Amino acid sequence: MFDVNQIRKDFPMLNGKKMQGHPLIYLDNGATTLKPQVVIESVCDYLTNYSGNAHRGDYDLSHEVDEHYEQSREIVRQFINAKRKEEIVFTSGSTDSLNMIAYGYGLTHLKANDEILITVAEHASNTLPWFDVARLTGATVHYINLDETGRLTLENVQKAVTEKTKIIAVAEVTNVLGYQAPMKDICQFAHERGIVVVVDGAQSVPHQVTDVQDTDIDFLAFSGHKMCGPTGIGVMYGKYDLLKDMKPTRLGGGANSRYNSCGVVTLKDPPYRFEAGTPHIEGAIGLATAMQYLMKIGMNDIHEYEQELRQYCIQKMLQLDNVQVYNPHSMGAIAFNIKGVFSQDAASLFNSYGIAIRAGQHCAKILDEFLKVSTTLRASFYFYNTKEEIDAFIEVCKKGDDFLDAFFK
């Protein structure tokens, strides 16, 4: 296991940054993560030393950029164990990736009365595009029931699937309840029936080993900024045959090999047909550096340590009468409330002690029908958090008993 105190030295934001006069305790890692110095330096290195364009030049500087950009694609391939690097498409993030899948694949492969299956726990980015694609194609969106704890189970997937089901689009780990879906079993069941499986990996890929060949996922979307990489960069993984059969949602320079005045266009092979325009070069390089950093620490060790932190925190939270925890047995973020205190007010209280957590609906705006509560607080950990930070978090949870006194002291 790694030394967390040594790890923390890698992150400038954890070395002197204060909030409300207190050392920053960052527990909003489900929203975005902090960046290690090595990632910052890799981005600055591109901007400082070889800041040319990719795939557009016949000179040494451009070739150097091409080499770094394509090497970044290969590192992403290794990180998720894709079969070939051409299955890796750089996007602006999970939202962009899921929209590209919905409109680029769903819009051309769905027809009237086809069914798309999602859950009420999905992020808006894995819900709204499917609503729109269903409207445009005449397909319908149906919901897979969650079990009583909020888990997506194979049994409930089996109950929801019909002969009309064409796409299952679900998060491997949901961003509020944090439960792990049995993706390998779901994919096996779906593929036996010719169903395509789209996976939102925004909350899973940063925290555990991801092997798309083992799980047999068809499409996977995730973001760089949730795994120590820069903002504005993400990945759409797709099996190569599916990408070949998929329409780009944007057209422009770099995506085509030729076109003529009659409007006849010949697209490049994947992944380039999906990367029209100048790509986010420094973002791709920074993401690859972040992945190398994570792999050096070890994704299994990261996952194990985060689960240790979560269990430590849950045990303490369950001892507090004024705290309601909605997902004590999940693996991801902790969804909770301070009883009798509106979530945004409680988040302000935590902020006053230098603790960053999130409040609201967390972009999962139909989950409240399941939770029977309009908003929640969310604490989400990463491998640089400590038990001492959790102790400080618990002390503020206790102060919620007398919210006004605690806030105005």
The span from the CA of 280 to the CA of 234, in Å, is: 10
More confident: 78 or 255:
78
What does the pLDDT average to over 21-45?
98
- Residue 407's pLDDT band (cuts 50, 70, 90): low
- Are 312 and 201 found together in one domain? no
Q: Of 296, 330, 355, which residue sits at a domain end? A: 296
Cβ atoms < 10 Å from Cβ of 230: 21
Cβ atoms < 10 Å from Cβ of 82: 25
The mean of the pLDDT values for the chain is 95
Q: Is the pLDDT of residue 408 over 60?
A: no
- Are 210 and 289 found together in one domain? yes
Question: What pLDDT is stored for residue 364 in this prediction?
Answer: 74
Phi, psi (5° rounding) for residue 90?
-80, 135
% residues pLDDT > 70 (the chain): 98
- Are 274 and 339 found together in one domain? no
Any catalytic annotation for residue 262? no
Q: Which of 109-123, 130-144, 249-263, 328-342 has the lowest mean pLDDT?
A: 249-263
Q: Is the pLDDT of residue 370 over 90?
A: no
Burial class (CB in 10 A: 0-12, 13-18, 19+), 26: buried
Of 44, 187, 228, 363, which one is the catalytic site residue?
Answer: 363
376 within a domain of the structure (yes/no)? yes
* β pairing state of 115-118 and 165-171: parallel
33 within a domain of the structure (yes/no)? no
- Residue 404's pLDDT band (cuts 50, 70, 90): low
The span from the CA of 83 to the CA of 191, in Å, is: 18
Q: Of 276, 296, 316, which residue sits at a domain end? A: 296
198 within a domain of the structure (yes/no)? yes
Q: Is the pLDDT of residue 403 over 80?
A: no
- Are 329 and 288 found together in one domain? no
* β pairing state of 18-19 and 22-23: antiparallel
Domain that holds residue 336: 4-28+298-406
The span from the CA of 261 to the CA of 16, in Å, is: 59
Q: Is the pLDDT of residue 333 over 60?
A: yes
Burial class (CB in 10 A: 0-12, 13-18, 19+), 203: buried
Q: Residue 272's closest CA among 251, 259, 255, 252? A: 255
The whole-model pTM stands at 0.96
- Are 352 and 306 found together in one domain? yes
What does the pLDDT average to over 199-217?
99
Question: What pLDDT is stored for residue 57 in this prediction?
Answer: 78
Question: What pLDDT is stored for residue 6 in this prediction?
Answer: 98
Note whether 167 and 103 are within 8 A (CB): no
Q: What is the CATH number of the domain that holds 321?
A: 3.90.1150.10
- Are 214 and 354 found together in one domain? no
- Are 143 and 266 found together in one domain? yes
Number of domains into which the chain is organized = 2
366 within a domain of the structure (yes/no)? yes
Q: What is the CATH number of the domain that holds 214?
A: 3.40.640.10
Question: What pLDDT is stored for residue 363 in this prediction?
Answer: 76
Question: What pLDDT is stored for residue 253 in this prediction?
Answer: 84
Q: Of 235, 264, 296, which residue sits at a domain end? A: 296
